[in-house]
Structure 1
């Protein structure tokens, strides 16, 4: 009898988190960078979300109607979401300074504010022409560039190739020794 009572008590305690999970409260807020956050703890400026826990699982693809319905339940609207404005700056090389590189290499370093996402790419322009293909790394290298004055600029692109930001144009005076 004591063993069955002990087993029953253990069984009840093991299922108690599932019973209380339906009573949990979820809070939603958007930070100053426009990112949505969810938590089980209320902080100033949060909105309580009514969660309907039906314990249903679906392996099918979600269509846009389902996504819209979920977004409307959570009071999330793409049009109300703040648009993130990016700024991009070339931090190296310095503008209008001579650069010594006998092999014609120019290293370009770009800083974005806020920090770019992994899906964003950077496109390098040299003298107004695309140089190479867009890349993820904020450090780029132009190789075998002729000596002389050149204009460098970088564009920040989203995953669809849309320009999110452009850097300032940096003038580089490349110095390299000539072949004798």
Structure 2
């Protein structure tokens, strides 16, 4: 048998063997020499055939992991925390606030200090004016003239009211420009400076030069 013929035979035999292995990982393979002196591989038993030992497949089959689902359970609220003191520092009860634009500053204090994830909520006339803040200072703007009620709440992370002050009255005295001008008449240097003294109302200045006759 020539070298080229032997190489062709070995390659064909190897291809046959690989095809048989791929066909069935559990099938048995046999080999024998046929009448023409050629080696034959087959998966069928044959007279004088020998069983070819096949190494077990090294294919690794991994079990797919189940996706980890996020826990849908929410933390349950614990006992409600209470403060020993909560009150409005400014304005004081029954204060008269005089401001043309109706502005004022509300400040609060509490003991102990504000707990983590607790916030203040400011109420004006029993309606929420500002919420969600941790600052004890609340600027208020354009409050209508008249008597109003202030109250402060401390709310925990679950929306529960931990503490609330009683309603505290104050009186907004929004003096009109005309009233301010009447109480303090405008002077020459006040025009264009004081809101109640616009330049258009500034009287013409008298000339100090005597007319020539």
Q: Give the drift of 1:131.
A: 0.7
Deviation (angstroms), 1:179? 5.3
Which residue does the alignment assign to 2:186? none
So what's the TM-score if we normalise by structure 2? Answer: 0.44
1:68-93 C-alpha deviation (Å, 9 max, x unpaired): xxxxxxxxxx88xxx74213111110
Q: Can you list the C-alpha shifts for 1:42-65, whole angstroms capped at 9, x where unaligned? A: xxxxxxxxxxxxxxxxxxxxx9xx
Determine if the alignment matches structure 1 residue 166 to structure 2 residue 164.
Answer: yes
Q: How many residues of Structure 1 are paired with residues of Structure 2 in the alignment?
A: 101
Pair 1:85-2:82 in alignment: yes
* Residue ranges of structure 2 left out of the alignment (5+ in a row): 1-70, 72-77, 179-213
Task: Confirm or deny: 8 A CA contact 2:119 2:131 kept in the other structure.
Answer: no
TM-score normalised by structure 1 residue count: 0.51
Aligned to 1:96: 94
> RCO (CA 8 Å, sep 6+): is it higher in 1 or 2?
1
Structure showing greater radius of gyration is 2
Query: Superposition pairs for residues 17-166 of structure 1, below 5 Å?
Result: 84-86=81-83, 87-166=85-164
Please state which structure has a larger fraction of its residues in strand.
Answer: 1
Which residue number corresponds to residue 56 of structure 1? none
Distance 1:131 1:84 in 2: 24
Root-mean-square deviation (Å): 2.0
Runs of 4+ in 1 over 3 A off after TM superposition: none
